[in-house]
Structure 1
Amino acid sequence: MKLYRIGIKMLSGSRTPMHSDTLFGSICWAVLYLEGEDRLKLLLQNCKENKPAFIFSNGFPRGFLPRPAGGNYTTGFSETSSKSEIMDYMKTAKKIKKISYIPLDDIQKIILGEKIPLYSCEQPEEASIHWTTHNTIDRKTGTSLEGGLFRELYRWDGDLDVYVMAEEEWQPLLVRCLELISFWGYGGGASRGRGAFEIEEICEAGFKTPEDPNAYMTLSRCIPTPEMPVPCQYRLDVKYGRFGQDRGRVGYPLKKPVLMLEPGAIFWGKPPECGWCGTMAGELSDEYSDALQCGLSIILPCKIEPPEWGA
Structure 2
Amino acid sequence: MLVYLKPLSIFPQLHSDTLFGAITYAINELYPEKVQDMLEAFKSNPPFILSSTFPFIFNEDETIRFYPKVITKQSSKEANVLVDSKVFKDYKKISYVEEDIFSKMIKGELSEKDILSNYESYERKKSLLLNEKIDIDVSFGENIIPNNTVNRVSNETEGIFYTIGMEFKNIGLFFFIEFMDESYKPLVKAALRFLEDRGFGKDITNGKGHFVHEIDEDFSLDESLDLGDDLDYFITLSRYIPNDEELDKINEYSSYEIDSKRGKSPAGEIRKQIRFFKEGSIFPNYKAFYGRNIESGKDSPAIEYGYAFPIKCKGNKED
- Is TM (by shorter chain) over 0.5? yes
What is the aligned partner in structure 2 of residue 210 from structure 1? Answer: 228
C-alpha distance in 1, partners of 2:103/2:144? 37
Using a 3 Å threshold, how does the CA distance of structure 1 residues 149 and 303 change in structure 2: closer, same or farther? closer
What is the aligned partner in structure 1 of residue 96 from structure 2? Answer: 101
Aligned match of 2:310 in 274, 299, 304? 299
Residues matched between the structures, number = 278
C-alpha distance in 1, partners of 2:198/2:14? 15
Using a 3 Å threshold, how does the CA distance of structure 1 residues 94 and 17 change in structure 2: closer, same or farther? same
Q: Which letter maps to 1:184? A: R
Corresponding position: 1:241 with 2:263: yes
Task: Check conservation: 1:103, 1:122, Cα contact below 8 A.
Answer: no
Q: Which letter maps to 1:227? A: E
What is the aligned partner in structure 2 of residue 70 from structure 1? Answer: 72
Task: Check conservation: 1:218, 1:266, Cα contact below 8 A.
Answer: yes
Aligned match of 1:170 in 172, 179, 184? 184
What is the aligned partner in structure 1 of residue 172 from structure 2? Answer: 159
What is the aligned partner in structure 1 of residue 105 from structure 2? Answer: 110
1:20-169 matches, cutoff 5 A: 20-36=16-32, 38-49=33-44, 51-62=45-56, 63-70=65-72, 90-116=85-111, 117-119=114-116, 120=119, 121-126=122-127, 127-145=140-158, 148-157=159-168, 158-166=171-179, 167-169=181-183
Task: Check conservation: 1:58, 1:219, Cα contact below 8 A.
Answer: yes
Deviations along 1:209-235, whole A, 9 cap, x unmatched? 332222110000111222222222212
Using a 3 Å threshold, how does the CA distance of structure 1 residues 182 and 35 change in structure 2: closer, same or farther? same
Tell me how far 1:48 sits from its aligned partner. Answer: 1.2
Deviations along 1:220-279, whole A, 9 cap, x unmatched? 011122222222221222213355xxxx3xx22653321121100111x2342x2x3111
Counting aligned pairs with the same residue, the percent is: 26
What is the aligned partner in structure 1 of residue 134 from structure 2? Answer: none
Using a 3 Å threshold, how does the CA distance of structure 1 residues 140 and 40 change in structure 2: closer, same or farther? same
Corresponding position: 1:224 with 2:242: yes
Moved more, 26-35 or 126-135: 126-135
CA RMSD, 1 decimal: 2.6
Given the two structures, how large is their TM-score scaled by the length of structure 1?
0.80
Task: Check conservation: 1:216, 1:271, Cα contact below 8 A.
Answer: no
Give SS of 1:30's match. helix
Tell me how far 1:185 sits from its aligned partner. Answer: 1.0
C-alpha distance in 1, partners of 2:263/2:109? 38
* Structure 2 unaligned regions, length at least 5: 57-64, 128-139
C-alpha distance in 2, partners of 1:21/1:128? 20
Aligned match of 2:285 in 270, 273, 282? 270
Give SS of 1:304's match. coil
C-alpha distance in 1, partners of 2:4/2:160? 37
Q: Which letter maps to 2:69? A: R
Tell me how far 1:175 sits from its aligned partner. Answer: 1.2
C-alpha distance in 2, partners of 1:306/1:236? 20
Using a 3 Å threshold, how does the CA distance of structure 1 residues 17 and 100 change in structure 2: closer, same or farther? same
Using a 3 Å threshold, how does the CA distance of structure 1 residues 35 and 279 change in structure 2: closer, same or farther? same
What is the aligned partner in structure 2 of residue 81 from structure 1? Answer: none
Using a 3 Å threshold, how does the CA distance of structure 1 residues 124 and 297 change in structure 2: closer, same or farther? farther
Deviations along 1:24-67, whole A, 9 cap, x unmatched? 0111111111111x310001000012x11222211111111101
Given the two structures, how large is their TM-score scaled by the length of structure 2?
0.78
Deviations along 1:144-184, whole A, 9 cap, x unmatched? 33xx3222222214311211112322112211111111221
What is the aligned partner in structure 2 of residue 186 from structure 1? Answer: 200
C-alpha distance in 2, partners of 1:227/1:12? 43
C-alpha distance in 2, partners of 1:23/1:219? 13
C-alpha distance in 2, partners of 1:17/1:254? 21
Moved more, 292-301 or 96-105: 96-105
Corresponding position: 1:7 with 2:4: yes
Give SS of 1:95's match. helix
1:252-271 matches, cutoff 5 A: 252=268, 254-267=270-283, 269-271=284-286
Q: Which letter maps to 2:298? A: D
Using a 3 Å threshold, how does the CA distance of structure 1 residues 259 and 107 change in structure 2: closer, same or farther? same
